[in-house]
Structure 1
Amino acid sequence: MKKLKSILLLALTGTLLACQSTSSTNGDQLLLTADFVDQQLKNAVEQYQVMAKRLPPQSLPKTYYEEQDSLETSSTRWWTSGFYPGTLLYLYEYSGDSTLAVEAKQKLQLLEKEKNNKGTHDLGFMLYCSFGNANRLMPDLHYRSVMLQGAESLISRYKDAVGAIKSWDHHTDQWQFPVIIDNMMNLEFLNWASRESGDSKFANIAKIHANSTLKNHFRNDYSSYHVIDYDTITGAVRHRHTAQGAQHESAWARGQAWGLYGYVMMYRDTQDSIYLNQAVHIANYILNHPNLPKDGVPYWDFDAENIPDAKRDASAAAIIASALLELQTYVDGEQQNQYLRAAENMLTNLSSDVYKAKKGSNGGFILTHSVGHLLANSEVDVPLTYADYYYVEALMRYRNLLGDKR
């Protein structure tokens, strides 16, 4: 991994790339310029044009291994299958380049069959990040139909006795009804389905699941467990575990990111202050953690044993930055300022040559240095398709904040 010395110095001195000169740090004072944001998005478009040329027509990207010059792909059943078309659509929205939309639509045709997949909780990632963005930009009754069927498939995994959507069907010798913090991210799909269909059942399940997660997944300091295992009959908590974190009691970085993003989204969709309060608590836990590096890119686990030599997770930083950019719009004063500055710091550093690939390299991925599942030695210190998705989303959100200042 490239040395982080230069980026740590950048963060410590408080210098932001391409910043506007300002004598104020009010929450509504944006530090990143339109030119800076545009440059990162233009670079992202160029990278995904490289990716599109390299990717086999029937596959979706997962990661890339530089030493072997190997692009690892997946079928549509893999949980990350919706991120590539979703990123293409964000970049199409930015650039107007129709070739990106054509590539995205080709992948949507592959993905459509997952609307009937009742074996996964990840249908929000798979269908809403892809078809949802497509329908937002190019409204189509067919896209709507695919998503509504997918939402029906997702709620088939809900069990009223537990008050949650089951995450995994594997390791039945270990867990009865495992629910992972990642599942918060799929609730946005259900909230959309209720708004679109007029049927409240989807949003009701989303809220019950969010409430169960709030009650059972979080410690007193607002860090989150990865896996909560419930008794299928009584709904009682059997185990509080991790699958991808350093230890059962550690704070797996991407898990904290999923929780933050999920509760920000739930507040947006419901306006229930309990979710805003939870999001604020999670954000404060992350940003005030003594092990959060100065550049804002977390170690793969906040409690990893070999800090400061532990691997960084750019995917967690991208998710957190995107969530903070939305969260700061719901608060004010010093709180707003803290969240906005933190997101800007993360975006600035993710956009540096420490974490962002040079044009034409990295298999077409935008970011480097993410961690998928370190304990399984899977996707360690590599690019990941969801890191790119949330990085581009964060840039688009920042671009929207710039608004008429552009």
Structure 2
Amino acid sequence: MSITKPVLVLVLFLMLACNSTKKEVSTTDSAVFNSDKVLQQNATKMKEVAASLTNFDSFPRNVKNNKTDWDFVGVTDWCSGFWPGALWYAYEASGDEQIKVQAEKFTAPLKTIAYTPADNHDIGFMVYCSYGNGYRLTGNEEYKEILLAAADTLATLYNPTVGTILSWPSQKHKFKYNTIIDNMMNLELLFWAAKNGGDQKLYDLAKSHAEKTMQHIVRKDDAVYHVGSFDEETGEFLRGYTHQGYATESMWARGQGWGVYGFAVAYRETGDKAFLDTAIRLADHYMDRLPEDKIPFWDFDDPKIPNAPRDASAAAVVACGMYELAGLVKDEALKKKYIDAATSYVEALSSKEYLSGDVNQALLLHSTGHYPKNSEIDVPIVYADYYYMEALVRLNKLNKTNSAVVMK
């Protein structure tokens, strides 16, 4: 049977249409987010940057506007542990021994923090992010000794009358005895130490700190104060403040992230359901107020929104916190809810709008440090990279095991 010309044209048209459809599906499939690919690219970039650095007691902190290279801080800066910590995640992801060597070199100078009298609560950020990840991955006994010493040093800031760790001794003139929401993240060092040869009192004071924070710094609107002020003599809660947020009763994005993550860890370590309920409240409130593109403005109540700066670091912290939370809740629908939310934040951070690529030495663009002081606004900041790497590592493990990963 012969095919007439009109029929032939129709057949050719249908064949082209089918090929076009197949090509379109193929393009869409190749665009599916590949967390392992992004993680390996990040590890390679960090390896190259670290190889160019020769002063191991100087640590990347931020990249200023219109610059390409990191600016550095010393050992005692609260951000000093994030760079070696991120290198440990890069080593974990890649298995590259050269990255391990770099992580070890940048971790070593922080030993002094464990044996120096405490003048702030950030010992957990400085030592647990660096030595903690190093010990988790290598089992180095020297690292363990340093971690235990650091926990004892942090514990010296605890006031049994107030029931919390003093965050900023230098700010007592302004806030009296103060405890900040960020400090929830430093409790993990104390919980870890109590389980690994340290004094049991470390567990007790960490739990007390979490309870007091839950009672006084977590607000009834399911947001948090940045700072809680207490009477040092009586333990009475005086009032809440902001320090880095827009206003005392506003919702500072990164502070909300510290709360989500910190209370999830407190539940993991104590089994106290009140901590789990608090983490859920804070997480759900964050999700309810989040912009459609999944990256928060630096403060959810800045009246300049949508012309206010974003905070990629907050998105990275919350992603880690929600992966942690997903590994703790029993309800499968809740578990999926938090995994899906966290993964959407990691995907947003991995987009061309936020991943720096060749723009500079950092991994992420668009973080905001201390907006009220006009400090580190809309720039790369090292703790954004640290928690971004952690979130990617968590997501990769989740993809391989098909279950949420609790990092301990």
| TM-score normalised per structure 2 | 0.88
- Partners of 1:151 and 1:190 within 8 A in 2: yes
Aligned 8 A contact 1:295 1:345 in 2: no
For the Cα contact (< 8 Å) 2:92–2:137, is it kept in 1? yes
Whichever residue aligns with residue 340 of structure 1, its letter is: I
Structure ranking higher in helix proportion: 2
- Structure-2 residue corresponding to 1:273: 273
Q: Which position in structure 1 is the counterpart of 2:18?
A: none
Which deviations, in whole Å up to 9, do the C-alpha atoms of 1:122-145 show, x marking residues without a partner? 111111111011111111221111
What aligned pairs does 1:316-395 form with structure 2 within 5 A after superposition? 316-331=314-329, 332-359=331-358, 361-362=359-360, 364-395=361-392
- Against the structure 1 CA distance between its residues 19 and 335, is the aligned structure 2 distance closer, same or farther, given a 3 Å change threshold? farther
Provide the rounded CA distance (Å) in 2 between the counterparts of 1:346 and 1:141.
36
Measured in 2, the distance between the counterparts of 1:302 and 1:177 equals 27
Task: Encode CA deviations 1:226-278: one digit per residue, 9 max, x unaligned.
Answer: 00111110111223101100011111100000000001111111222111111
Match of 1:246 in 2: 246
Distance 1:389 1:19, change over 3 A: farther
Describe the SS at the equivalent of 2:127.
Answer: helix
Structure 2 matches for 1:214-229, cutoff 5 A? Answer: 214-229=214-229
Q: Which sections of structure 2, spanning at least 5 residues, go unmatched? A: 1-26, 404-408
Q: Give the drift of 1:37.
A: 1.1
TM-score of the two chains, using structure 1 as the length reference:
0.88
- Percent sequence identity is 39
Q: Secondary structure at the match of 1:208?
A: helix
| Structure 1 pair 369–227 and aligned structure 2 pair: CA distance change class (3 A) | same
For 2:41 and 2:166, the matched residues in 1 are separated by 39
Residue in 1 that maps onto 2:59: 60
Secondary structure at 1:381's aligned position in 2?
strand
- Partner Cα separation in structure 2 for residue 116 and residue 180 of structure 1: 23
Q: Deviations over 1:154-185 (max 9, x none)?
A: 00000001000000022333222111000000
Across the aligned residues of Structure 1 and Structure 2, the Cα RMSD in angstroms comes to: 1.9
In the other structure, the counterpart of 2:90 is 91
- Rg larger in 1 or in 2? 2
Question: In structure 1, how many angstroms separate the alpha carbons of the residues matched to 2:163 and 2:314?
Answer: 27
Change (3 A) 1:336 1:50: same
Count of residues in correspondence between the two structures: 374
Q: Distance in 2 between matches of 1:398 and 1:63?
A: 25
Q: Tell me the alpha carbon deviations over residues 10-60 of structure 1, each in whole angstroms, 9 at most, x when there is no partner.
A: xxxxxxxx9989xxxxxxxxx976xx0111111211221232134341310
* Residue 37 (structure 1) aligned to one of 10, 35, 38: 35
State the match for 1:138 in structure 2: 138
- The residue aligned with 1:190 is 190
Q: Distance in 2 between matches of 1:55 and 1:304?
A: 38
Q: 1:182 to 1:19 in 2, by over 3 A?
A: farther
Give the direction of change, closer, same or farther, for the CA distance of 1:320–1:161 in structure 2 (3 Å limit).
same
CA contact (8 A) 1:60 1:76 kept: yes
Unaligned runs of 5+ in 1: 1-17, 22-30
Structure 1 pair 68–400 and aligned structure 2 pair: CA distance change class (3 A): closer
Equivalent residue letter for 1:402: N
- The 5 A counterparts of 1:141-290 are 141-197=141-197, 199-289=199-289
Q: What is the identity, as a one-letter code, of the residue corresponding to 2:257?
A: A
SS at match of 2:352: coil
**One-letter amino acid of the structure 1 residue matched with residue 111 of structure 2:** E
Higher relative contact order (CA 8 A, sep 6+): 1
